[in-house]
């Protein structure tokens, strides 16, 4: 089943893998080696249906061009590949040409991303405007955006923003990396409710999870704007030994709770999973997370297909 068909079309939630692209100054040989390693990894992750290539610009780590790398990933792995595009940095009149170039190279699934700060006057369109520009050009593909579960503002609440982006053409959202389940559960519930009120079919929401193997990963996540609750940081890093194992258990617990809540609360938002590598050193940890998460998704599929009715009220107590 292709990526587009997997969005809300079946009980099994789709699984994406998001690697860290090689550094901008990588030689052709180094890029080829990175692609070969990624292809080997994807070959051992049969449940991964797509690869998600981020666009990383500025800062201390800038990668090769995201679209060029996505093209190479898709050709090397044979797996449908999505590419992120920071539309805030792209003038509106240049976006259609970029979309057409991506399609010509076989990349039909785009994730359009906004700027880092609402206080900056960017040259590009808003995400909603970019959706309207790009959606008619990718009728054979999909448009995705980013959602931030803890971005809950009065007057500009995240679920309402997601509905606007859905109406403008978004087929799916990828959440920022989450380190606890409650904000994601609330977001899915409220987005579901907002879609019902607006008469809009909800887009698939991919939950972003990533491994943590040491304190440097926590520091990096904070730098990326991820909300790291103090108790989570403490629980993961309290002892240098088995940090990766505790992180794995945390991530699987988050996924399990979100899936169970969606089922028990009859949330109609299709759910997917995006496993992010985040750090170059975390190949093995991200692969293990993807493998273990695949088992949970399989279990969720079985539960979703269980024809037995749900018990919503307690049975009467016999006298």
- Cβ atoms of 56 and 63 within 8 Å: the answer is yes
* pLDDT over 50 (residue 314): no
Mean pLDDT of 275-284: 94
DSSP string, 126-154: -HHHHHHHHGGG-TTSEEEEEE-TT---T
Q: What is the pLDDT of residue 192?
A: 98
Q: Which CATH number fits domain 3-299: 2.40.40.20, 3.90.230.10, 3.10.150.10, 3.20.20.220?
A: 3.20.20.220
User: What pTM does this model have?
Assistant: 0.91
Mean pLDDT of 55-84: 92
Mean pLDDT of 232-238: 94
Cα distance between residue 150 and residue 157, in whole Å: 10
Q: What is the pLDDT of residue 4?
A: 92
27-41, 150-164, 172-186, 245-259: lowest mean pLDDT where? 150-164
Domain boundaries, the chain: 3-299
* pLDDT over 60 (residue 13): yes
Q: What is the pLDDT of residue 319?
A: 36
Cα distance between residue 257 and residue 182, in whole Å: 9
* pLDDT over 60 (residue 100): yes
Task: Tell me the Cα Rg of the chain.
Answer: 20
Q: Return mean pLDDT, the chain.
A: 90
Q: What is the pLDDT of residue 316?
A: 43
Q: What is the pLDDT of residue 136?
A: 96
């Amino acid at each position: 089943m292709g990526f587009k068909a997997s969005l809300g079309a079946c009980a099994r939630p789709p699984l994406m893998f998001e690697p860290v692209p090689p550094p901008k100054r990588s030689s052709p040989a180094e890029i080829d080696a990175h692609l070969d390693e990624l292809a080997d990894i994807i070959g051992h992750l049969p449940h991964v249906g797509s690869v998600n290539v981020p666009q990383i610009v500025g800062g201390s780590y800038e990668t090769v061009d995201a679209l060029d790398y996505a093209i190479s990933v898709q050709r090397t792995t044979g797996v449908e590949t999505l590419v992120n595009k920071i539309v805030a940095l792209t003038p509106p009149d240049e976006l259609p040409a970029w979309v057409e170039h991506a399609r010509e190279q076989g990349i039909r699934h785009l994730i359009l991303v906004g700027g880092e700060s609402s206080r900056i006057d960017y040259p590009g369109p808003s995400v909603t405007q970019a959706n309207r520009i790009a959606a008619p050009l990718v009728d054979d593909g999909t448009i995705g955006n980013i959602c931030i579960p803890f971005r809950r503002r009065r007057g500009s609440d995240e679920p309402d923003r997601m509905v606007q982006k859905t109406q403008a053409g978004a087929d799916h959202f990828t959440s920022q990396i989450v380190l606890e389940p409650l904000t994601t559960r609330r977001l899915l519930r409220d987005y579901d409710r907002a879609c019902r009120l607006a008469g809009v079919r909800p887009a698939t929401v991919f939950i972003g999870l990533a491994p943590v193997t040491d304190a440097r990963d926590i520091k990096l996540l904070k730098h990326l704007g991820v909300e790291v609750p103090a108790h989570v940081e403490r629980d993961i890093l309290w002892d240098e030994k088995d940090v990766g194992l505790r992180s794995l258990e945390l991530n699987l617990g988050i996924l399990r709770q979100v899936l169970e809540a969606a089922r028990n609360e009859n949330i109609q938002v299709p759910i997917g999973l995006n496993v992010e590598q985040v750090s170059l050193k975390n190949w093995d940890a991200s692969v293990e997370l993807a493998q273990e998460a695949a088992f949970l998704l399989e279990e969720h599929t079985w539960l979703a297909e269980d024809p037995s009715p749900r018990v919503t009220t307690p049975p009467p107590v016999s006298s």
